[in-house]
A and B are shown apart, each in its own frame.
Chain A
Amino acid sequence: MIKTISLAHGSGGLASTELIDQIFMRAFDNSFLQAHEDQAKIKLTELTQLGDRMAFSTDSYVIDPIFFPGGDIGKLAVCGTVNDLAVGGAIPLYLSCGFILEEGLPICTLQEIADSMAKTAKEAGVTIVTGDTKVVPNGAVDKIFINTAGIGAIPTQINWGMAHIKEGDKIIVSGTLGDHGATILNIREKLGLIGALSSDCAPLYSLIHHLHTIDGVRAIRDATRGGVNAVLHEFMQGSGYGMKIIESELPLQSTVRGLCELLGLDPLNFANEGKVVIVVSPECELQVLQSLHRHPLGINAKSIGEVVTKRNVTLQGLYGIERLLDLPHNEPLPRIC
């Protein structure tokens, strides 16, 4: 068998069929794909049994490097989209995936990525039901780009959204901040920091679904590109209230903190791939924290601040002085996620 991807693999001819059969059909194996149709036919009754709204989301993944401690581009492409569904209160169900491959990509690399996607999809309880592969000449993309889109069903009783946020609500993060961003930066810029730097990339539905039964959860966002800071700004825009967080309460791994100190960067701006920011009513704060702490992905969950009237995002520093948390103005480091 040919060892690298060639333009023929994207031609729609024999080579394409072989590639799809040997890599994707084998890894994602399910009856939707077996049908070999141009579309997956999903029963509407299945969706309506689970909820009264369908959630639909898409994202593209262009990370460099494609393998990193704690994950790879495939795992990221599944986690990213299922998490986008889960934070809206949906039960993630089906994914599509589109691959753009660079001519010359080793087939074993693609295989490893597809296997990782299959494993993550299984863990997340979703099925990859349709897909597409394109091959572009060497240099036109960097190794591999993946797009995933997903659908899920939102249970009737759940109605999370930024419009429900009220003054006095509490802001909770589900774990340590910036692990993914710091890990990628460390490898990409060859900073050579050794230690336990590892991406937090993980599917979060199993953590979030315990919150479905708690009254008082207002809004959830996963803190990916732009980090917690960007989420807080979105919350501010969406709710009309300000967000105030306390520096000494921020959960951080010491390696991430070390890297930030070294480079003068703020972990609040770093990407996470397995963390959510949750706004809850003060009455259910404890219950939410307890629920998160019971799950392995939420053991470091912490309440970090609250919703205030003054419409800006501020950080109360170690000595009680409050400062404005602006979104970074500088161009972000290229392609961190």
Chain B
Amino acid sequence: MQFIDEFRAPNAVKSLLNQINALVKKTVFTKDSPLNIMEVCGGHTHAIFKFGLDQLLPPEINFIHGPGCPVCVLPMGRIDTCIDIAKQPNVMFCTFGDAMRVPGQQGSLLTIRGEGHDIRIIYSPLDALKLAKLNPEKQIVLFGLGFETTMPGIALTILQAKQLQLSNFSLLCQHICIIPTLKALLALPDIKIDAFLGPGHLSMIIGIKPYEFISQDYAKPVVISGFEPVDILQSVIMILMQLIKQQYLVENQYRRIVADKGNTAAQAVINQVFTLQGNDEWRGLGKILDSGVRLNEKYREYDAELRFNTKRHCQQDDPNARCGDVLTGRCKPINCPLFGQTCTPTSAYGALMVSSEGACAAYYQYRQSDLI
């Protein structure tokens, strides 16, 4: 299959691994003090585990699974807000499937759907608009979730709702931006990240420039990477080369998809509809400065929280859960005392275990054999 098979070809992978093994020897990294590469995006985490790249790479290279999955960083309190709204009479609550199983204090959206509340799984934000048109007597609420990758689609949906003057449609905005997250991460005192594998799809929207502060202010390489084994291994080589040359740059390995300047039309529509405002709470990371995404003044009428006058729930995580430590690379999922015990995919405590991109889900799915 074009664009897939050539990026998975075993001989290409083997030759890249040989190059990596040779390059690692030219660095200071050792098995006990390895090169820590954070893969920001959960898509990378899953590819690394699915193909067993972590086992194929030399022990001098260690992957840290970052906070780049919007479901994983969803605080429990936000799910509680979803549930508050979904329980209101006459509401049809629309969400992408991934958020269905994330636990809040009062259960998940899946639990309350089982209790008879009207929760719909949608595949495109426009499906929610269609439902609004078909059901004028109902209030349709769309749960807008995700980084810059999903924001343009939601923004276009809001623009259309305005154009159609739909009064029974609103958005529960849980969008987040990647750059404040990375800033918050890098500001943490006990974090040991030497380089970043930059998110492929997200960068398709924002381009590569916004990451420059990482290379300039923190002297750490960033390589925007595709999701196939050859992509990831090439990116590791690019990181090693930078470190050997002591050059710290933002490089783009995923040129076939990501333009250096990103998608300017998508950026424009995001800026038209959304604004960065206030400090938002992130699961495991706490409050992050200026990371809250809100609807612009002009589109505030579509804000579901205002429309339903919801209260913000505060988060009370189980003190034993180490979701935050996993997201920041302080520990691996297996070091969490809840892992595989009270927290499994069927009885998840944290979103990292239910999101299809979560690090705990990846460990559970691919590494269980090592643990039993």
Contact = CB atoms under 8 A, between A and B. Distances in A.
B49 to A, nearest CB: 8
Nearest to A334: B121
B110 A331 contact: yes
A314 B364 CA distance: 14
A35 interface: no
Interface residues of B, number: 27
A137 interface: no
B366 A318 contact: no
B368 A321 contact: no
Contact of B51 (A190, A317, A330): A317
A234 interface: no
A44 interface: no
A330 B52 contact: no
Contacts of B364: 326
A319 B345 contact: no
A326 B101 contact: no
Contacts of A323: 49-50, 52, 366-367, 369
Interface string A250-263: 00001001100100
A261 B51 contact: no
A321 B52 contact: yes
A231 B365 CA distance: 18
B123 interface: yes
A324 B8 contact: no
A321 B367 CA distance: 11
Nearest to A190: B123
B10 interface: yes
A3 interface: no
A12 interface: no
A321 B345 contact: no
Contacts of B46: 264
A336 B366 CA distance: 25
A60 interface: no
B56 interface: yes
B51 A319 contact: yes
A312 B4 CA distance: 29
B1 A318 contact: no
B163 interface: no
**Complex A-B, nearest 9 residue pairs according to Cβ-Cβ distance, in ascending order:** A321-B52, A329-B345, A324-B369, A323-B366, A324-B368, A321-B55, A329-B346, A318-B10, A317-B52
10 contacts: A257-B1, A264-B46, A317-B51, A318-B8, A318-B13, A318-B51, A318-B229, A319-B56, A323-B366, A330-B356
Given A264-B356, A318-B8, A321-B51, 20 more contacts: A190-B123, A254-B1, A314-B369, A317-B51, A317-B52, A318-B13, A318-B51, A319-B10, A319-B14, A319-B51, A319-B52, A321-B56, A323-B52, A323-B366, A323-B367, A323-B369, A324-B369, A329-B344, A329-B345, A330-B345
